[in-house]
Amino acid sequence: RNNLTLLLNAMDVEKLAPLFYSVSEPATEARLEALLQHIKSRGVATPVIPPFLQRLWARGAFWERLANNYGCYGLNIFSPEDCMDTDDICFADHHLREEWFESHGPNSAAAPHMIAIATQCEYNKYMTSLDPTSPNFNHVIQIVTNCDEEDDPVPVKFWLQAVTIYTERTTQTLEGGPSFSEVFREVLQTAGLAKRWRYAQEEEESDVDGEGEGEESDKDEGEGEGEGEGKG
């Protein structure tokens, strides 16, 4: 916890906030308590809001990195109310969340104590735990819902580093700059945790495969164009 506190101080939320296009009013104690009561209703005895979320929500309840982000693109950090809609935001409904839980296990992103804390697109979400007894507390899990993919939990400090770096490398528009997941992957690779980010590994492998397929496809298209021109 001491290391995490130092990181939060180093991140300096007050300096980070102006880099976002929009940061709403701070979350009130009543809003935080409503979230805790919601998690209790899901069977978690003593839920706790992690320090990093407390710090972010003390500055603003909802953060949008990009203008005209259509509610999900770039990087949006969710409000306490959004977190209570995790079933819909991440899994479409509670039935699909139960299916995810059955297929991915009790410590997965679908566990009752897990909440969605951020999004970078309609399928790519970031989650954490409000159960201090869970191995996912003060950790972040990335899920890719259209791939039924869930990455291994990583300490939240790496996610916070990625948030800071991402805001430094991008503008407040959809044009130019890396995606948040690219920055997050870079941070994890630098920390020697790339193997824990399964989606990133699979993405890299598919990129290599895709290059070969693309070359063959281009070649075929070129041959087709040549034949067409000759016939003309």
Residues composing the chain? 232
Give the whole-angstrom CA distance, residue 139 versus residue 175. 30
pLDDT at 147: 79
| Residues of the chain with confidence (pLDDT) below 70 | 1-11, 70-72, 92, 174-175, 194-232
Give the whole-angstrom CA distance, residue 160 versus residue 221. 45
Element (H, E) at 22: strand 22-23
Q: Could you report the per-residue pLDDT of 5-20, keeping only the tens digit for each?
A: 545 554 578 888 998 9
Question: For the whole model, what pTM was predicted?
Answer: 0.78
Q: Could you report the per-residue pLDDT of 88-110, keeping only the tens digit for each?
A: 777 767 888 888 888 887 888 88
Alpha carbon 28 to its chain centroid, in Å, reads: 24
pLDDT at 60: 96
Helix (H, G, I), strand (E, B) or coil at 117: strand
Pairing label, strands 63-64, 22-23 = antiparallel
pLDDT at 73: 78
For the record, the structure tokens of 216 come out as: 């063959």
Instruction: Tell me the Cα Rg of the chain.
Output: 20
Give the whole-angstrom CA distance, residue 182 versus residue 204. 11
Annotate 125-147 with DSSP letters as a single string.
Answer: EEEEE--TTSTTTTEEEEEEGGG
